[in-house]
Amino acid sequence: MDPFAPDNLIESLHMPSAIPADSVGLVTPQTIHFDTPLALACGRVLESYDLVIETYGTLNADASNAVLICHALSGHQHAAGYHSMEDRKPGWWDSAIGPGKPIDTNRFFVLCLNNLGGCHGSTGPTSLNPETGKPYGPDFPIVTVKDWVNSQVRLADHFGIQQWAAIVGGSLGGMQALQWSIDYPERLRDCLVIASAPKLSAQNIAFNEVARQAISKDPQFHQGHYYEQQVVPKTGLALARMVGHITYLSDDGMREKFGREMRAGKLSFDFNPQFEVESYLQYQGERFSTAFDANTYLLMTKALDYFDPASDYDHDLVAALSHARCRFLVVAFTTDWRFSPERSRELVDALVAAGKQVSYAEIDSAHGHDAFLIPSPRYMELFAAYMDRVALGISTAPQQKENADAR
Amino acid sequence: MRADLEIIQQWIQPDTRVLDLACGDGELLAHLTAEKGVQGYGLEIDHDNITACIEKGVNVVEQDIDNGLASIRNSSFDTVVMTQALQTMHRPDQIVDEMLRIGKECIVTFPNFAHWRARFYLAFKGRMPVSKFLPYTWYNTPNIHFCTFDDFEKLCVERNIQILDRTVVDHTLRDRWWIKIWPNMLGEIAIYRITR
């Protein structure tokens, strides 16, 4: 998922006076402009676009140590480290990326981007449409996971990365990693698909539709042209976030965290939030609604709904995956009901049937879908063990070129 | 390598597809991949073993065999192996059937409950046998379906399963000439290669 992951599930990291030793430290995002037109699945063409990225670690001389991190629904390029000493929290996957962590920046060059259609600096609905001079808003093309992968290929070319050591993603990020393995089999050695699925179920799509309806029915939405009105469909976005958030947690996790605790300790016989879980959800929705763009949220949920790599192969997932050349690690979490272990098993079974190298682990966790962002001993140990194998593929050429982007 | 695995690996052809049920730390598959170029997968539920497999670069899938193997396609493996786990299954007969469905050949190993030491223990102490090799007591043993070599071979006859090879070894997993005199009395572990 998720840069806005619940503070109280992920241990709140108050910025210490010094950066922790296992952090990538202070990082600065960087914008890369692309002038080669990008043809999209919807039939439209983006003549030019920006991708905003962050990188951690140093790219080696033959670019054999590069790891691509793909973000999920509401994610962005800030995966690890801090932007300033005042930051209260590090990047969204800081638990897994850094010196000595599973994705060890002492040996890997890690690149994370904000996808097209995003609202954290890459070209998206909030960007100016060169044809009109106004923000794209709802006119920004519907982008798909395939489109994202095509744009990420350009990014790899920009850095001279012919083959990623690994592409890693959770949830919607895992779907991008999977799409890479099918569309560009020669360009990655390992593919890590975490808490993900080979396509969405009707139930998944249904939840996304509730989120979209909440946004588009908000009177402040103005058919997506809310920027001109200088308003934000806050209520709709908050509702969308609240319903999404419920699907990220597990029943057990919510019971453990909130139970039926009441803020005032007794029933108030009115409709104000009184159970802890109500105020928690309202807080999460409120916070998200001021930090995220509604049009981007609509786009991201569509990319999820449309993802179905098997559809290009007569709906035969085994046939789709038969193109892959990389090794796979698939990880699921026991209480994840958004993309349950059964969904990961569909992928694993298809990979085995296709004769691909694959390992699969089902991690015990009470944290539901959010578990993929929360470090637990077994998860981190397994992740690190796999990345050790990935590192064996790095060429050991002694001379290293200083990465221009890590300055 | 464990002595029984040494015997098993000789029965596996190069460049074939092998599924190892309850693959442990992946020792057999790592060997078969490196030495014979097999495409191997292991199923395992023990967390430490799964990590050990990943450290070795062995394909391992976390799956409880007792929940069945329905997700694996018919005849999709050349050889399906299960070492020292048959007696821990809820329904060993069904697992053997499933192994024969997904594999062209199967290799199974299990301890012999009719070994003289077990017979002696039960006959004279009147208690369930406990040994260094099988150190559990009746209430905590994972070995819930012990059988003898003769029991297994009777199952094979009933289920129309063909025994291609059988090697019987002692508790050090080594092949001894004297075991052949009376395997069901003197052998401690049998390694069967079967097909249907």
Query: What's the pLDDT tens digit per position in A6-51?
Result: 443 444 445 556 789 999 999 999 999 999 999 999 999 999 999 9
> Both tokens of residue B139?
């209430």
Judged by phi (left if over 0) then psi (alpha if -120 to 50, else beta), residue A251 lies in: alpha
Q: Give the C-alpha separation, B130 to A325, whole Å.
A: 49
Mean pLDDT computed over B108-117: 88
Residues 6+ apart with CB under 8 A from A405: A30, A53, A55, A159
pLDDT in tens, B53-98: 999 999 999 999 999 899 999 999 999 999 989 999 999 999 999 9
> Min CA distance, B195 vs chain A (Å)?
21
> Min CA distance, A385 vs chain B (Å)?
5
In the chain, the amino acid numbered A35 is D
Q: Which of B54, B62, B76 sits opposite A386 (nearest CB)?
A: B54
Asked whether the predicted pLDDT for residue B118 surpasses 70, the reply is: yes
CB B99 within 8 A of CB B106: yes
> Both tokens of residue B171?
């508790």
Q: Which residues of A are catalytic?
A: 171, 336, 369
Mean pLDDT computed over B180-188: 84
Classified as helix, coil or strand, B8 is: helix
State pTM to two decimals. Answer: 0.93
A359 CB within 8 Å of a chain B CB: yes
For B:118-147, CB contacts with A below 8 A are none
A355 CB within 8 Å of a chain B CB: yes
CB A367 within 8 A of CB A83: no
Determine, for residues B72 and A349 on separate chains, whether the beta-carbon distance falls below 8 Å: yes
Task: Give the range among A19-28, B16-25, B139-148 with minimum mean pLDDT.
Answer: B139-148
Residues 6+ apart with CB under 8 A from A46: A37, A38, A40, A116, A123, A141
A358 CB within 8 Å of a chain B CB: yes
A353 CB within 8 Å of a chain B CB: yes
CB A273 within 8 A of CB A47: no
pLDDT of residue A397: 55
Determine, for residues A361 and B50 on separate chains, whether the beta-carbon distance falls below 8 Å: yes
Which chain B residue has its CA at the smallest distance from A349's CA? B71
Which chain A residue has its CA at the smallest distance from B40's CA? A357
Query: Which residues in chain B touch residue A389, judged by CB atoms under 8 angstroms apart?
Result: 54-55, 57
CB A42 within 8 A of CB A141: yes
Question: What one-character-per-residue DSSP string does A164-226 give?
Answer: EEEEEEETHHHHHHHHHHHH-GGGEEEEEEES--SS--HHHHHHHHHHHHHHHTSTT-GGGTT
Determine, for residues A349 and B76 on separate chains, whether the beta-carbon distance falls below 8 Å: no
Determine, for residues B62 and A357 on separate chains, whether the beta-carbon distance falls below 8 Å: no
B60 CB within 8 Å of a chain A CB: yes
A389 CB within 8 Å of a chain B CB: yes
Can you list the positions of beta strands (E) in A276-381? 327-333, 358-363
Determine, for residues A359 and B59 on separate chains, whether the beta-carbon distance falls below 8 Å: yes
Q: Give the C-alpha separation, B55 to B25, whole Å.
A: 9
CB A375 within 8 A of CB A102: no
Determine, for residues B62 and A362 on separate chains, whether the beta-carbon distance falls below 8 Å: yes
* Tokens 């969904």 belong to residue: A343
pLDDT of residue B175: 79
Determine, for residues A349 and B17 on separate chains, whether the beta-carbon distance falls below 8 Å: no
Q: Give the C-alpha separation, A207 to B133, whole Å.
A: 54
Q: Give the C-alpha separation, B19 to B29, whole Å.
A: 9
Which chain A residue has its CA at the smallest distance from B61's CA? A360
Asked whether the predicted pLDDT for residue B34 surpasses 80, the reply is: yes
> Both tokens of residue A11?
């241990």
Determine, for residues A349 and B71 on separate chains, whether the beta-carbon distance falls below 8 Å: yes
> Both tokens of residue A357?
């190298």
Q: Give the C-alpha separation, A171 to A182, whole Å.
A: 17
To which H or E segment does residue A39 belong? Answer: strand A38-39
A348 CB within 8 Å of a chain B CB: yes
Query: Which residues in chain A touch residue B73, judged by CB atoms under 8 angstroms apart?
Result: 353
Strands B77-83 and B17-21: parallel
pLDDT of residue B4: 83
Which chain B residue has its CA at the smallest distance from A355's CA? B39
CA-to-CA separations, A332 to A171, A256, B44, B72, in angstroms, rounded: 10, 21, 15, 19
Query: Residues of A at the annotated binding site for substrate?
Result: 241, 370
> Min CA distance, B52 vs chain A (Å)?
8
Query: Residues of A at the annotated binding site?
Result: 241, 370
Q: What is the ipTM of this complex?
A: 0.92
Low-confidence ranges of chain A (pLDDT < 70): 1-17, 397-407
